[in-house]
Amino acid sequence: MSSKSHKAGGLASLRSTLNEVLRSQRAKDNFKNLMRVNKDGGFDCPGCAWGDSKDGAFQFCENGAKAVAWESTARTVDRRFFAEHSVTQLMKQTDHWLEFQGRLTEPMRYNHQTDHYEPVSWADAFSLIATHLQALASADEAEFYTSGRASNEASFLYQLFGRAFGTNNFPDCSNMCHEASGLALTQSVGVGKGTVVLSDFEQADTIFVYGQNPGTNHPRMMNALKKAAKRGCTIVAINNLKEVALNRFASPQDPVELLTPAATQISSLYITPKLGGDMAFVRGMVKALQQSGATFNQQFINRHTVDSEAYLNRVSQTSWQDIEQQSGVNKSEIEQAAQLFVQSKQAISTWAMGLTQHKHSVDTIRELVNLHLLFGQIGRPGAGLCPVRGHSNVQGNRTMGINEKPPKAFLDALQQRLDFKPPTAHGHNVNQALQALHQGQAKVLVCLGGNLAAAAPDTEFTYRAIANAKLNVQISTKLNRSHLLVGQDALILPCLGRTEIDQTSKGPQQITVEDTFSMVHASAGGNEPVGADCLSETRIVAEIAAATLGPVPVNWLDYAQDYSLIRTLIGDVLPAFANFNDKIKQQGGFHLANSAALLQWNTRSGKAQFHAVDLPADIFPQSLSAQLATSEQPTLTLQTLRSHDQYNTTIYGMNDRYRGIENQRQVLFINQSDAEQQGLSEGDWVQITSLWPDQTQRQVDGFQVVFYDIPKGNAAAYYPETNPLVPIDSYGDLSFTPTSKSIAIQISKSTSKIPLVTS
Ligand SMILES: Nc1nc2c(c(=O)[nH]1)N[C@H]1C(S)=C(S)[C@@H](COP(=O)(O)OP(=O)(O)OC[C@H]3O[C@@H](n4cnc5c(=O)[nH]c(N)nc54)[C@H](O)[C@@H]3O)O[C@H]1N2
Ligand SMILES: Nc1nc2c(c(=O)[nH]1)N[C@H]1C(S)=C(S)[C@@H](COP(=O)(O)OP(=O)(O)OC[C@H]3O[C@@H](n4cnc5c(=O)[nH]c(N)nc54)[C@H](O)[C@@H]3O)O[C@H]1N2
Ligand SMILES: [Mo]
């Protein structure tokens, strides 16, 4: 393990980008791809959901380039590959190895007798799916999962098919990601999306970045932060770890900066709360301001909000002792942050998984909204709330109706336009879908992208749940764990990627996506498809629908040839998309209006809603707290996060440059004093066991101790390797999001150095 670098970005970043492009074995195509990414007439980066700026020549970043080169590789997985490797053998390979084999190129069906995937024709694959679906006693025995890369067009057809078939079972990656943000924002300000756009970052004078590692996960956001810092905007990082990029950042897009040692100082203040301590931290800011007699924006409060008094009463009742104890931040630092907020004319708060993957995430985000409401820091240029989304079209998926709890207005519009009665009962989220599969109540699993097996918590439980399906259908670009959990029947359906030309009988098609700022724009790949037998996601969904339902309620196959027909249909159902086909011709696409940004409140009271609750007694459920209180061995709280060389369950490489980790993923970041207290030295191998009030033993082995600047009592390790530790029943209140950032663990010396986890 090498020492940590002091700035992020820079030459090392450029080197890493070049490496990835060369490793794809399609260097020429990929350099061309990088010129076209996130540009008008080009394609949307399959990396993150950050918005596109209109200023520079290049719109890519190191990790976006990795995502592009990873998809656009010359390596392929075909029938010969599957003939060579049985599923049992493949199961022994790591996640990295599986995806590294290349792009899936032809439809395959699992054969139990031989334990191999074997070629199947597209027609037979579609009719097998139809046979399974038609055999179900109820449509609710099917689960339709979506990962956030699917286009608006594919997602809209997919939800239409599911609902025409008769179910709202649409578990999706949002359930494990920003679900709490959507819920909290809907309750507080009436719309489940961020209220700012990219240009607001040019106007804000203070930006608070909570629980987010943009240097790795949203590198293009670093350019916005860097520009802001340079013009004197104050940036406050609130992060459990000292993330290098939030301290200093050099942009690989800026050749001058690259060649000079001085990188931009990003954060003026860096707060390191304990895991799950952000609600207490924000409460502390409000308490500090209340006690210092700061002037709240009474005019805004009176005109636009309800329940401010109830909230402020709760704040005065909350003790500093509780605030400091739960946040792990001392009063003077909280006061400092509060001063920066109150001095600011235009403040933005951004956040990601550090806020959303806890038990009290919905309350935490509502607390943050409370703070903004007290000062009217919303709905003005340069001020507002910004949950930074993960997958490149995860926000668009929801807009298109991938939602297990669809709004009534959406269902009504579907019914009116298409003359069928969509189901109104709520469907399953990821947790409920896995439970239903586990219990044998759900029998068919269809996944439009993603890697549910590796992304979901409680690996053993999840594996059993997926393998229990009578039919497991995976629509994918690359081979992954989810293909290997074979039920009675299993199909791999290979699809085109973002970088590829999507040619139909009506010519090349474009798709559309929505970014984190609610900008909708078109995307069209320019590469010849790697697999001659791949179909587009849209076509695959349409064919499944046609095989199962016939041409009802729409003529699916026509839509699969001409995506502008789908966009017209979307415009008929969703008023914001009227004239959709014309609107995407505008440079940069079009913006979906955000009601809260316009100071219109679609809440029950018609006003923005303060949320008045006590701080939780603990970040864990009471039963677990009680168990921890009686434990003799020391316990820690673990967060699971991403390295610099991965995209969720896709592992590009084994390094985590900014955190100084090389060639290793099974590491446990831990405070030196916590380690020494347990007699552990840096480099020791440990076993990690999670605690939960049930009888199940959840353990991983073969993790190497790394001392790190992390609050005492906290630890960190990479996902998905640590997913076996997250109990299936440990999820956020209301959100059902696995508590991937607060897992109670104990560690002990390893019994072996051989990693026992499957990644
Ligand atoms: N290259 C790349 N880009 C990606 C992804 C990827 O895997 N690779 N994934 C995409 C997806 S789907 C998503 S959702 C986003 C994820 O983007 P992030 O949310 O940045 O991802 P994580 O790695 O989970 O990082 C969580 C951050 O929150 C901090 N944190 C954890 N717990 C707490 C807490 O309790 N309080 C505070 N204040 N901080 C905390 C961690 O130290 C870490 O810096 O990125 C998207 N973009
Ligand atoms: N412990 C822990 N668990 C977590 C998290 C965490 O922080 N900690 N984060 C959670 C979060 S935020 C998320 S979003 C989920 C991610 O969950 P998912 O979205 O399900 O997982 P990904 O790893 O993004 O999916 C990767 C697979 O998608 C397929 N793929 C890639 N591109 C395309 C495409 O264009 N089309 C299709 N059809 N398939 C494609 C490839 O086959 C690839 O193997 O994981 C969650 N799980
Ligand atoms: Mo995500």
Judge if the beta carbon of residue 455 lies within 6 A of ligand 2.
Answer: yes
Q: Which DSSP symbol is given to 362?
A: H
Q: Which ligand 1 atom sits nearest the alpha carbon of residue 277?
A: 35
Return all residues near 38 (Cβ < 8 A) that are at least 6 apart. Answer: 44, 45, 52, 59, 60, 64
Judge if the beta carbon of residue 172 lies within 6 A of ligand 1.
Answer: no
**Lowest-pLDDT range of 249-258, 391-400, 693-702:** 249-258
Q: Nearest 5 degrees, angle CA 582-CA 586-CA 589?
A: 100
Q: Which ligand 2 atom sits nearest the alpha carbon of residue 474?
A: 38
Question: Counting ligands in written order, which one lies closest to the CA of residue 647?
Answer: 1
Do you know the residue count of the chain? 759
- Give the max Cα distance, the chain: 75
Question: Counting ligands in written order, which one lies closest to the CA of residue 368?
Answer: 1
CATH number attached to the domain at 179-388: 3.40.228.10
DSSP string across 373-410: HHTT-SSBTTBEEEE--SBTTHHHHHHTT--SS--HHH
- Is pLDDT of 475 > 90? yes
C-alpha 66 to ligand 1 mean position (Å) = 17
- Is pLDDT of 632 > 50? yes
Higher per-residue confidence, 687 vs 256: 687
pLDDT of residue 756: 45
- Is pLDDT of 253 > 80? no
- Report pLDDT digits (tens) over 92-103: 999 999 999 999
In this structure, the number of other CB atoms found within 10 A of the CB of residue 39 comes to 16
Range 153-174 average pLDDT:
98
pLDDT of residue 712: 98
Q: Terminus-to-terminus CA distance in the chain, angstroms?
A: 20
- Is pLDDT of 116 > 50? yes
C-alpha 450 to ligand 2 mean position (Å) = 4
Return all residues near 491 (Cβ < 8 A) that are at least 6 apart. Answer: 107, 108, 109, 110, 120, 125, 128, 129, 471, 472, 473, 474
- Is pLDDT of 197 > 60? yes
Return all residues near 262 (Cβ < 8 A) that are at least 6 apart. Answer: none
Question: Buried b / exposed e across 2-28, counting CB within 10 Å, b at 16+?
Answer: eeeeebbbbebbbebbeebbebbebee
Comparing CA positions, the residue from 10, 483, 416, 397 lying closest to residue 170 is 397
Judge if the beta carbon of residue 215 lies within 6 A of ligand 1.
Answer: no
Q: In testing the pocket of ligand 2, which one of 649, 730, 737 has its CB within 8 Å of the most ligand atoms?
A: 649
Q: Is 622-749 the same fold as 81-174+393-578?
A: no
Judge if the beta carbon of residue 645 lies within 6 A of ligand 1.
Answer: no
Comparing CA positions, the residue from 474, 405, 470 lying closest to residue 441 is 470
CATH of 81-174+393-578, one of 3.30.460.10, 3.40.50.300, 1.10.3720.10, 3.40.50.740: 3.40.50.740
**Lowest-pLDDT range of 7-21, 262-276, 630-644:** 7-21
For ligand 2, atom 18: residue with the closest CA: 450
- Is pLDDT of 300 > 80? yes
C-alpha 50 to ligand 3 mean position (Å) = 12
Judge if the beta carbon of residue 750 lies within 6 A of ligand 1.
Answer: no
pLDDT of residue 424: 98
- Report pLDDT digits (tens) over 710-736: 999 999 999 999 999 999 999 999 999
From residue 565, alpha-carbon distances to 328, 507, 558, 592, 730 in Å are 54, 14, 8, 20, 43
Judge if the beta carbon of residue 536 lies within 6 A of ligand 2.
Answer: no
Question: Counting ligands in written order, which one lies closest to the CA of residue 148?
Answer: 2
Joined tokens for residue 83: 């003939």
- Report pLDDT digits (tens) over 500-557: 999 999 999 999 999 999 999 999 999 999 998 999 999 999 999 999 999 999 999 9
pLDDT of residue 752: 67
Confidence label for 24 from pLDDT (cuts 50, 70 and 90): confident
Joined tokens for residue 692: 């939960």
Phi then psi for residue 588, to 5 deg, are 80, 0
pLDDT of residue 731: 98
Identify the CATH class of 622-749.
Answer: mainly beta
Give percent of the chain above pLDDT 90: 85
pLDDT of residue 454: 98
pLDDT of residue 753: 59
C-alpha 544 to ligand 2 mean position (Å) = 22
- Report pLDDT digits (tens) over 164-183: 999 999 999 999 999 999 99
Q: Which ligand 2 atom sits nearest the alpha carbon of residue 498?
A: 35
Judge if the beta carbon of residue 647 lies within 6 A of ligand 1.
Answer: yes
- Report pLDDT digits (tens) over 570-605: 999 999 999 999 999 998 899 999 999 999 999 999
Judge if the beta carbon of residue 393 lies within 6 A of ligand 2.
Answer: no
In this structure, the number of other CB atoms found within 10 A of the CB of residue 227 comes to 16
The domains of the chain are located at 8-71, 81-174+393-578, 179-388, 622-749
Confidence label for 256 from pLDDT (cuts 50, 70 and 90): low
Phi then psi for residue 718, to 5 deg, are -80, 145
Judge if the beta carbon of residue 353 lies within 6 A of ligand 2.
Answer: yes
